[in-house]
């Protein structure tokens, strides 16, 4: 199979066995899908009916104009993996209580005059609150975090009242999701090593959907995999439903985000649970 870039000897290739080459050029191939989830996907009908539909999760419609036409590549918004992975725009408020050790279970990182979540400890108030690696913390108890040093941010958490810490958060600004579909052999067509995507299989679902190399896998179907061993990540990939949504972060930014965090701590302490929707 052809990969980009060519695979060096000894690279870990969890999906090398039995790689199938998907047949269709355009994914999703609307003619092949025919009736997808009960929707008629005849091209003309799609154009007629979708042009005025408001944007829903992972659906894009571009209406005609100036000789340019658009089509919808539908990805069903009801898929649980997609929902779990969804990076929502705007801001959200989280209210936390400290645990009996008077901790919330967060480690933070200061990047570009913003404050980001570097670690969400398993079973902590932060984990219960739905906070995730890479979330940007904009405010702690009414104070804007812009320009704060790491010490200042950790201190604000430390001195906060035990029963109520109000955080204003922006969902994972440096991450994005890519939804792919397994082929008949169960593969989406990328190769990774130590969580970092290193190759794309030619014409695989990953390639068709624009997955990129030099990006770290942060989540699979919304479940955080940062710090897990490659074998553990492979298990999660294998047991994923056919529609798989991966959350990725550029390598350069990822390396800043995890600086001064031991890989052992990332593996053992990070919340790797499957999020609720």
User: How big is the site for a copy of itself, counted in residues (CB under 8 A)?
Assistant: 73
Q: Which of residues 153-212 bind a copy of itself (CB under 8 A)?
A: 168, 170-171, 173-174, 176-177, 200, 202-203, 206-212
Please choose, from the candidates 196, 178, 175, the residue with its C-alpha nearest in 3D space to the C-alpha of residue 188: 178
If the CB atoms of residues 69 and 262 are measured against a copy of itself, the closer one turns out to be 69
Surface-to-core class of residue 59, CB atoms within 10 Å of its CB (0-12 exposed, 13-18 middle, 19+ buried): middle
If the CB atoms of residues 104 and 228 are measured against a copy of itself, the closer one turns out to be 104
Q: Which stretch binds a copy of itself (CB under 8 A): 7-15, 109-117, 152-160, 258-266?
A: 109-117
If the CB atoms of residues 168 and 233 are measured against a copy of itself, the closer one turns out to be 168
If the CB atoms of residues 162 and 235 are measured against a copy of itself, the closer one turns out to be 162
**Residue recorded with tokens 């480690």:** 107
As measured in angstroms, the least distance from the Cβ of 66 to a copy of itself is: 5
CA–CA separation, 226 vs 133, rounded Å?
A: 8
If the CB atoms of residues 97 and 235 are measured against a copy of itself, the closer one turns out to be 97
φ and ψ of 95, to 5 deg:
-115, 125
Question: Is there a contact between 115 and 263 (Cβ–Cβ < 8 Å)?
Answer: no
As measured in angstroms, the least distance from the Cβ of 36 to a copy of itself is: 14
CA–CA separation, 187 vs 96, rounded Å?
A: 39
* Alpha-carbon torsion, ordered 239, 244, 250, 256, to 10 deg: -50
As measured in angstroms, the least distance from the Cβ of 82 to a copy of itself is: 10
Q: Which of 225, 246, 253, 257 binds a copy of itself (CB under 8 A)?
A: 253
CA–CA separation, 198 vs 212, rounded Å?
A: 8
If the CB atoms of residues 83 and 154 are measured against a copy of itself, the closer one turns out to be 83
Mask of contacts with a copy of itself, 135-154, x by CB under 8 A? Answer: -x-xx--xxx-xx-------
If the CB atoms of residues 10 and 89 are measured against a copy of itself, the closer one turns out to be 89
As measured in angstroms, the least distance from the Cβ of 134 to a copy of itself is: 12
CA 35 to chain CA mean position, Å: 28
Under rule CB under 8 A, residue 266 binds a copy of itself? no
Q: Which of 250, 267, 274, 275 binds a copy of itself (CB under 8 A)?
A: 250
Question: Is there a contact between 230 and 12 (Cβ–Cβ < 8 Å)?
Answer: yes
Q: Which two tokens stand for residue 156?
A: 């604000």
Mask of contacts with a copy of itself, 9-48, x by CB under 8 A? Answer: ----------------xx----------------------
Q: Which of residues 64-93 bind a copy of itself (CB under 8 A)?
A: 65-71, 73, 75, 86, 88-93
CA 273 to chain CA mean position, Å: 14
Question: Is there a contact between 187 and 201 (Cβ–Cβ < 8 Å)?
Answer: yes
Q: Which two tokens stand for residue 112?
A: 């570009």
CA–CA separation, 33 vs 39, rounded Å?
A: 10
């Amino acid at each position: 199979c052809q990969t980009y870039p060519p695979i060096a000897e000894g690279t870990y290739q969890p999906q090398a066995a039995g790689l199938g080459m998907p047949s269709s050029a355009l994914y999703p191939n609307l003619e092949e899908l025919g009736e997808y989830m009960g929707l008629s996907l005849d091209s003309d009908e799609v154009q007629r009916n979708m042009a005025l539909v408001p944007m829903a999760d992972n659906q894009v419609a571009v209406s005609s104009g100036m000789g340019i036409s658009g089509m919808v590549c539908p990805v069903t918004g009801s898929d649980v993996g997609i929902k779990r992975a969804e990076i929502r725009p705007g801001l959200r408020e989280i209210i936390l209580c400290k645990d009996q050790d008077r901790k919330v279970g967060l480690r933070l990182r200061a990047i570009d005059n913003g404050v980001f979540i570097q670690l969400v400890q398993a079973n902590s108030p932060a984990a219960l609150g739905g906070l995730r690696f890479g979330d940007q913390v904009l405010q702690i108890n009414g104070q804007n975090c812009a320009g704060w040093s790491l010490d200042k941010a950790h201190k604000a958490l430390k001195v906060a009242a035990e029963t109520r810490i109000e955080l204003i958060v922006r969902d994972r600004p440096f991450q994005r999701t890519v939804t792919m579909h397994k082929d008949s052999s169960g593969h989406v067509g990328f190769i990774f090593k130590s969580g970092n995507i290193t190759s794309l299989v030619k014409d695989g679902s990953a390639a068709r959907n624009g997955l990129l190399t030099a990006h770290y896998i942060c989540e699979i179907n919304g479940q955080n995999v940062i710090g897990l061993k490659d074998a553990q990540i492979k298990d999660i990939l294998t047991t994923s439903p056919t529609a798989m949504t991966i959350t990725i972060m550029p390598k350069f930014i990822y390396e800043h985000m995890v600086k001064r965090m031991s890989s052992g701590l990332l593996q053992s302490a990070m919340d790797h649970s499957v999020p609720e929707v």
